[in-house]
Amino acid sequence: MKFVTCPSLGKRALSEFTYGGRYEQEPAQETVSEKEWADYVFYHNGAPKVQIEWWYHRPTGIWFLFERDTLTDRINKVDFARKGMTHEA
Amino acid sequence: MSIQIVPKAFPVLMHLRGEGLDEVLASLGTSNLDIFQYRFVANGQFVAKLGNEEIFVCVEQPLDISEEKKQYAFQRGDAIFELSGDWKGLMAEVCIYDFRQTQPGDFLMVLIAGVSAWLLIPEEGAPLVLGCDPTYGHYFYETLVRQLEVSPFLKMECQDDD
Amino acid sequence: MPLRLLKYAWKKPEDEPRFFPSEKPLKEAYDVVIIGGGGHGMACAYYLAKEHGITNVAVLEQGYIGGGNTGRNTTIVRSNYLTAEGVKFYDESLSLFEDLSDDFDLNIFYSTRGHFTLAHTDSAMRTMRWRAEVNKHYGIDSEVVDVETIQKEVPYMDMTCNGQHPVMGALYHAPGSVARHDAVAWGYARGAQMRGVEIHQKTKVMDIKTKGGKVVGVETDRGFVEAKKVISAVAGSTPRITEMLDIKTPIEIFPLQACVTEPVKPFMDTIVVSGSLHVYVSQSSRGELVMGASVDPAELHSTRSTLDFVEGLTDQMMDLFPFTSRMKIMRQWAGMADITPDFAPIMGKTDIEGFYLDAGWGTWGFKATPVSGKTMAYTVANDRPHELIKPFALSRYEDFKLVGEKGAASVGH
Amino acid sequence: MKLRLGPQPLEWIDRNVSVTFDFEGKRVTGFEGDVVTSALWAEGWKVLGRSFKYHRRRGLMSFANHDINALFQTAEMPNVRGDVTPAKNGLSLTAVNTFGSLENDKGALVEWIAKFLPVGFYYRAFYSPKFLFPKWERLIREMAGLGKINTNWSEERQPKRYRHCDVAIIGAGASGMAAAIQAAKQGVDVCLIDENPFIGGSLDYQFANQRSQSLNRQYLKETVASLPNIQVITSAYVAGYYGDHWLAVNTDQGLIKLSAQSVVVATGVFEQPAVFRNNDLPGVMNASAAQRLMARYAVAPCNAGVVLTANHEGYRAALDMHENGLIVKAILDTGKTEGVWVDEAKKAGIVVYEQVTPIEALGSREVEGFIFGLNGMEHRLDCDGILMSVGWAPAGAPLYQAGAKFGYEPEVQQLIPVSLPDGVFACGRVNGVYVMEDRIKDGEQAGLAAALHVKGDAIPEWKDFRDGVAHSHPYPIWQHPKGKEFVDFDEDIQVKDLKGAIAQGFDNIELMKRFSTIGMGPSQGKHSNMNGIRMLAKLTGKTIDETGSTTARPMFHPTPVSHLAGMRFRPERVTPMQLFHEEAKACFMEAGNWLRPEYYPTEATREDSIKAEVSAVRNAVGLVDVSTLGKLEIFGRDAAELMDRLYTMRMSNMAIGASRYALMVDDAGVLIDDGVAVRFSDEHFYVTTTTSTSDSAYRMIQKKVIEWNLMVTVLNRTGQIGAMNVAGPNSRKVLSKLTAFGLSNDNFPYLASRQAKLAGVDVTMIRVGFVGELGYEIHVDASNALMVWDAIMNAGKEFGIKPFGVEAQRLLRLEKGHIIVGQDTDGLTNPFEANMSWAVHFKKPYFLGKPSLMKLKQMQTRTLVGFELLSDAEKDQPLESNLLIEGKEMVGRVTSIGQSDTLKKVIGLAMVSTEYSAEGQELNIKLSDGRLVKAKVVKTPFYDPEGWLQKSNEGSGEAA
């Protein structure tokens, strides 16, 4: 029952959102090695950290990017997932 | 103050996507509408802005839209209801949203009883118009009605106002 | 009155040998260091000492014995899995469980209740039959039963589920059991300790030191200890440990919550699980209904409780057991589940010589406690993966050789 | 009315209305406003229950719902709590967990063998011989447990509601009221919550006869009532504090989910019992319990009692008795307390002994006397009641749950919050502040801070209002050689039990709790944890802080399932054709949250009805509702690019007006979805997804559009469009009656899609044949869907049209060899295993999961094959999920199977190890009973392999 305040939606309950996983840049398919690809698909450092995540607001159908701390569950930043954005992930 | 909910039939509901929709809005007699705001344009008819290139209109006649402008129009058959009386009292039991944030004129999209719905936040005292996907319509209606019947909170309030 | 209790006529419990030693300093070096004093870590220590004569072992626990998922799970033990690998592995675990009380000379309250996994859709029915057939093929006592059979065993269950998603049948697993989770950890701990293993509670591992790709020891908040072999058996804390060695894994941490009702007189003898309703429930020997659901929706390294969980659980629970609406929820809590993409554990050796992983237990760790201890002990003692855990190697993902435990929509716990 | 007192200044009872109820079969009369416990006590019922383990008699102890001595059973409810349950006419109560009756409880025999049952005894025995354990366990289970469940009880659901406020204040005692007033004066929206029916807290029982407090009381209560922005919620407790300042507030009407910007915790303290021999005898009670009895219910705790005290609150309790004309035999002070109440007591002539050591309470059924030590001598006082006032523990549950840290403050000898999370404040006794005036100041400071926090303003410097006096005895535990000094009343835990646990190595607060079960009973340690911590600290030579405290998880009090669950909100979805299905008495099945017709019962049996539907499609024409398919509009400059990237096959080269099978895999190459893609224009596609994936597929595609930075719009039209499939040799004839549009092969060939008017409305027709006949899928706005469906049914009458359901469709598609994603595939199946390499176009530069598929292609180990059964199908037909066996090995499983009348065989699909997938390969299917039946791998489609029928020009009026 957490709250999150989103641009143009205001303060919303997290229960209106669907978690879309952490934001990750897909490696270029043309050049990627098998190992790199497996890393992208399966392996990661799952330790507690601040990470950028996809969150989908079901009633409006808008994708957001949250910057969330997976240790404290605190959401530091919220923004629309805009086309062509690039994030450090 | 008792609460009534009645299904409402609307003439033509259309979902428009594409460029130059402000002209369409203008043709309906509205302008400078912010995202997630609505305006009544005529009796019961309204337009709402859902995005830079997206509007939701409820009008008598289908709008003509221009192919070359890459405007796309889609018919919608949403299930729509009118809620009169202490609609906030009912909403408090089926919707987690904090309505203290809204102003009359807001087009609000929220989860109600597990279903995505849209609301036309009315002027104080006016009834609330809300709608959802047609295939959820019956569930939506039955759920709200059942809530009105069983809720002690709402009953208590009814007594207060008698 | 059991004879074993008569001694207390003249003997005070104080005179009993301690289960666990009182605090003492760490040695400079051990042959093996086990990170994590939960059931898995303690079991590994126990079998290292008992079956491989390796006793110069330290178990390092940042909190207290069994304070992690061991003491937070809903204590269900079963072996009705979907894949050959899973079935063989958990069946071994189950047979070990049956003898634990005697091995330990301590009653772990291993109580065979029978385990129903309900199916509410025909696709769920297919999955149940799939599991039943695989189980039967490997000699596991499992079968698909119809509504009548369920109703006979659990007469007070509402098969119509309030009109929505009625029960169509179930996978019945007669050996399905519950056990006293703490006692399992305590029993292994005491057994290991009596054989010379050192247990250090409130001892946090800060770092793992390597030289030339080989483990040389661990840095703790009580100083450095040498060890050429280090095992991580920390479930929900696994990523924090693997991060120390820059080992990447597919593990993601999700909170898994549970709750209990006030104790009432016994009325529920079976274990009931419903995948589509996200409910599993059994009645403890204290009389509480012990209930759980599926993991929380988003990655989180925390054991905080949420209201959404109890709301959802109680709501769905009533579909099956309407009368429970008159009961009261007494306590809720959470654990951290280390989830893998194929719902199977990650066990055995890693790229770093001397570092062994016992992880990826998701929501099934408790039932694997004995067998994971036994096979990890074997793997460490021989530096060669035990036959039963070969399919669970960390490297399977890059080889795209995933374990099919995920199957169709099959539920854990 | 033995113990009922004369009118009290603030009593809660209405002496004009009496209530009667039954207890243990006997009639009890009390007043409106009584709780069950007070009504019983007033009539001289001192034995209210039996203890959990030894079945000792138990009476009123905390009288605040902090113990379960008074726990009752009714016909409707288990575990009813007498301390807080209003006495109502017609109630019929019995004590829980008695064997026989409260008076004659056979369970009491356990006490005779108590010495054989030390702490954790059940770990020590019962496990061997193994075969006996189930009997022992049964016995132990019967002994454990409290109330009884009636499994015939009906379901109850209480509606819940949300309430959003600025400042929530938990506890409406002096400091809570003061906090509410200060916060409200800042203009914020305040909710003030208290678990009692009236606000006032200890001001109204501890200070009930303290004239000097009447002004404070009047000011606080009247101001709270006068401020419109304070909502008082009484008879409500905060079951749990959850993230982001959410409070689960349980009321008699139901759960209020209260969200606040900041929270003030003014929950006060739990009085802790003194631990001495027989401290559980009925008549031994906390001093605050006695004060609540007198002030709220005008009931005397006893006639002649002693007060055992370690703080000046005990003297106040003695004065309350004295002023009510009750005898106080003596105040037994374990130390040498000073203070105004001490002076008043002495002035009132009450005997006071100082430096006293409690030794034991005497009495068989209830208290008859008390033995204590004084200057090395034992003294005895006869009395019918013992009031204990030796200390307090913070009611810190909401603070612990919010993440506050507690530390031990030696000055007050109490745990107090030392660090508070953002937006959480504590005041009053929970914060270690005891003097009434200070409690009010402390509350005002917290209320102001909470309001300022809401406004985002700076919070003034924090003042400490604690007096320097210890209000708790540092170690109120006096062990007796003969034992029976109870620490935890719920669990019957004595001093020796905790000693035993600690001695055995459970010397960590959590381990001690888990081994001894202290604090694990229904009152969750409210009256026992603090003494447990004190004992552990002392016995391990640690400080209280080093020892630490256990976390207080929700629920604060056990909370009804019916309240937590609330109403049932389980969205259910129906297609626009639902009306028809219902009128046709269709048998429905659930697909996700959709209802779909499984079949229409037109024949005697389910099987025959399905057969009839199948044969209608094969020989005439059928109509199926496929509205549950996901339906997405994809349009914009990059629409074609998106389609190429999403699906495994090439889509950009589709002609306008064409359709194509669409297959989707995830990053790992696992098959997740399939459907049909249609191209309306260069920049406009329309795709269907499987029913179960419509939402997730839409979500995922939108996400990809963003990741790939494409100029394209995706709309989920699933619920806005109805869809149906007309299939069968006569389908063209039927449709021709409803449209002028040319349906012949040259104008509308197989796999084409056309937009036309049908039955007078705009529709999209796609000529696809999932079921393998000449067929048209018709997509139309939801509002027109039912009309079109009816029109087709009418037009089809003369051609023998029949509606068909999911079951018939399953068999028809099986005859055609089409897979169902999720049935013929599992969580790991890739397109090659599904025998669909033809659908993977590696030539494309990019598509979802391509690198995984390239890897997987080289390592395929299993294949989906078609098979037909060789042996007699009637009695030996295998079931879906039956295994394929070679020797001892499991080599695959049946994913689909069915009896095909059209082909006169049992056919099916199976996922088998590739080495057994060759055409003609014999397979052994293991039936559920273990017998093997033979089958043979055959080519698919089983039916009309060349697909002539789908392509047929039948009924176009032209030569086929």
pLDDT tens figures, D915-941:
999 999 999 999 999 999 999 999 999
Instruction: Quote the pLDDT of residue B1.
Output: 56
**What SS3 state is found at D389?**
strand
Statement to judge: residues B62 and B104 lie in one domain: no
Query: CA neighbours within 13 Å on the CB side: how many for C65?
Result: 32
A38–C243 C-beta distance less than 8 A? no
How remote is the C-alpha of B108 from its chain's centroid?
A: 7
Q: Which of the four pLDDT bands, split at 50, 70 and 90, describes residue D534?
A: very high
Statement to judge: residues B104 and B138 lie in one domain: yes
Which of B61-70, D88-97, D607-616, D902-911 shows the lowest per-residue confidence on average (mean pLDDT)?
B61-70
Instruction: Quote the pLDDT of residue C347.
Output: 98
Task: Give φ, ψ of D457 to 5 degrees.
Answer: -90, 160
Mean pLDDT of D635-649: 97
Q: Which CATH number does C27-73+182-250+342-406 carry?
A: 3.50.50.60
Residue A8 lies in a domain: no
CA distance B141 to chain A (A): 18
The pairing of strands D405-409 and D414-419 is antiparallel
**What SS3 state is found at D262?**
strand
Q: How many domains does chain A have?
A: 1
Q: Which other chains touch chain C, taking contact as 3+ CB pairs less than 8 Å apart?
A: A, D
Instruction: Quote the pLDDT of residue A83.
Output: 80
B101: which chain A residues are within 8 Å (Cβ-Cβ)? Answer: 10-11
D562–C5 C-beta distance less than 8 A? no
Instruction: Quote the pLDDT of residue D873.
Output: 56
Statement to judge: residues B41 and B68 lie in one domain: yes
Q: How many domains does chain B have?
A: 2
A76 touches chain C (CB under 8 A): no
Which of A48-52, B81-85, D126-130, D429-433 shows the lowest per-residue confidence on average (mean pLDDT)?
D126-130
How remote is the C-alpha of C337 from its chain's centroid?
A: 10
D17 touches chain C (CB under 8 A): no
Statement to judge: residues B67 and B120 lie in one domain: no
**What SS3 state is found at C231?**
strand
Instruction: Quote the pLDDT of residue B112.
Output: 98
Residue range(s) defining the domain that contains residue B115: 4-8+78-161
Tokens 């300093």 correspond to what residue?
A: C25
CATH label of the domain that carries residue B104: 3.30.1360.120
Task: Quickly list DSSP for C326-372.
Answer: GSEEEEEEEEEEEE-TTS--EEEE-SSBTEEEEE--TT-TGGGHHHH
Reply yes or no on whether the pLDDT at A86 is more than 70: no
Which of A78-87, B130-139, D477-486, D666-675 shows the lowest per-residue confidence on average (mean pLDDT)?
A78-87
For B39-98, the pLDDT digits (tens) are 998 888 899 999 989 999 998 877 777 777 778 999 999 999 999 999 999 999 999 999
Domain end (from B76, B92, B120): B76
How many whole angstroms separate alpha carbon D414 and alpha carbon D471?
8
How many whole angstroms separate alpha carbon D673 and alpha carbon C223?
54
Mean pLDDT of C313-332: 97
Task: Output the pTM of the full model.
Answer: 0.96
B77–D160 C-beta distance less than 8 A? no
CA distance C242 to chain D (A): 23
Instruction: Quote the pLDDT of residue C407.
Output: 61
For D197-250, the pLDDT digits (tens) are 999 999 999 999 998 999 999 999 999 999 999 999 999 999 999 999 999 999
Residue range(s) defining the domain that contains residue A67: 17-80
| Numbered residues of chain A with Cβ closer than 8 Å to any chain D Cβ | 1-3, 18, 20, 26, 29-30, 32, 34, 37, 40-42, 54, 56, 61, 63, 73, 81-85
Closest by Cβ to A59, choosing from B98, B101, B111: B111
Q: What is the set of domains in chain D, with CATH numbers? A: 14-106 (3.10.20.440), 161-270+394-455 (3.50.50.60), 273-390 (3.50.50.60), 486-562 (1.10.10.1100), 578-627+720-813 (3.30.1360.120), 828-840+848-938 (2.40.30.110)
Residue A3 lies in a domain: no
Q: DSSP letter at D947?
A: -
Mean pLDDT of C133-158: 96
A42–D846 C-beta distance less than 8 A? no
Side-by-side strand order, sheet with D357-362:
D357-362, D369-374, D377-382
**What SS3 state is found at D388?**
strand
How many whole angstroms separate alpha carbon D628 and alpha carbon D591?
9
Domain end (from B76, B106, B125): B76
Q: Which of the four pLDDT bands, split at 50, 70 and 90, describes residue D874?
A: low
Residue A7 lies in a domain: no
Question: How do the domains of chain C map onto residue ranges?
Answer: 27-73+182-250+342-406, 111-176+252-339
Q: Which fold has domain C111-176+252-339?
A: D-Amino Acid Oxidase; Chain A, domain 2 (3.30.9)
Instruction: Quote the pLDDT of residue D955.
Output: 84
Statement to judge: residues B35 and B51 lie in one domain: yes
Q: Which of the four pLDDT bands, split at 50, 70 and 90, describes residue B156?
A: low
Cβ pair C128, C144 in contact under 8 A? yes
CATH label of the domain that carries residue A34: 3.30.2270.10
D883–C325 C-beta distance less than 8 A? no
Instruction: Quote the pLDDT of residue A18.
Output: 97
Instruction: Quote the pLDDT of residue B28.
Output: 86
For D597-618, the pLDDT digits (tens) are 999 999 999 999 999 999 999 9
Q: Which of the four pLDDT bands, split at 50, 70 and 90, describes residue C11?
A: confident
D887 touches chain C (CB under 8 A): no
For D247-272, the pLDDT digits (tens) are 999 999 999 999 999 999 999 999 99
Instruction: Quote the pLDDT of residue C217.
Output: 98
Write out the two tokens for A14.
Answer: 């997290």
Q: Which of the four pLDDT bands, split at 50, 70 and 90, describes residue C1?
A: low
A15: which chain C residues are within 8 Å (Cβ-Cβ)? Answer: 308
pLDDT > 90 in chain A, percent:
90
Q: Chain-wide mean pLDDT for chain D? A: 96
Statement to judge: residues B82 and B72 lie in one domain: no
C240: which chain A residues are within 8 Å (Cβ-Cβ)? Answer: 47-48
β-bridge partners, D4: D299
Q: Which of the four pLDDT bands, split at 50, 70 and 90, describes residue D125?
A: confident
Reply yes or no on whether the pLDDT at D175 is more than 80: yes
Instruction: Quote the pLDDT of residue C380.
Output: 98
Side-by-side strand order, sheet with D71-73:
D26-32, D14-23, D92-95, D71-73, D80-81
